[in-house]
Structure 1
Amino acid sequence: MGKHKYTTEFEIRANNKMLFNYLVTPAGLAQWFADQVTIDDYKIFNFVWDNRPHYARMTAQRLNRYVKFEFIPEDSQATYEPSYIEFKLDMNDLTQSSFLKITDFSDTENEEDLRELWTHLVSNLREIVGG
Structure 2
Amino acid sequence: MPLSATRSKHRFTVELPVNASPKILYPYLASASGLSQWYCQDVRIDEDHRYNFIWDNQPHFAEMSSHRTNRSVRFVFLDQHKRPIVDANYLDFSIEESQLTQEVYLRVIDYSEETDDSELQDMWEGLILKLRELVGG
Q: TM-score if structure 2 supplies the norm length? A: 0.89
2:92 to 86, 93, 113: 86
SS at match of 1:32: coil
SS at match of 1:47: strand
1:130 to 101, 124, 136: 136
Aligned residues: 131
Q: 1:6: which partner in 2?
A: 12
Cα distance, 1:53 vs structure 2: 0.7
Cα distance in 2 between the residues matched to 1:40 and 1:12: 30
| Counterparts of residues 111-122 of structure 1 (less than 5 Å) | 111-122=117-128
Cα distance, 1:50 vs structure 2: 0.8
Contact 2:61 2:82 in 1 (8 A): no
Name the % identity: 37
One-letter amino acid of the structure 1 residue matched with residue 106 of structure 2: L
CA root-mean-square deviation:
1.7
SS at match of 2:37: helix
Q: 2:48: which partner in 1?
A: 42
Cα distance in 2 between the residues matched to 1:77 and 1:122: 29
Cα distance, 1:40 vs structure 2: 1.1
Q: 2:61: which partner in 1?
A: 55
Runs of 4+ deviating beyond 6 Å: 75-78
Larger relative strand fraction: 1
One-letter amino acid of the structure 2 residue matched with residue 126 of structure 1: R
Contact 1:8 1:102 in 2 (8 A): yes
Q: 1:16: which partner in 2?
A: 22
Structure 1: stretches of 5+ with no match in the other structure: none
Could you tell which deviates more after superposition, 13-22 or 77-86?
A: 77-86
Q: 2:72: which partner in 1?
A: 66
Q: TM-score if structure 1 supplies the norm length? A: 0.93
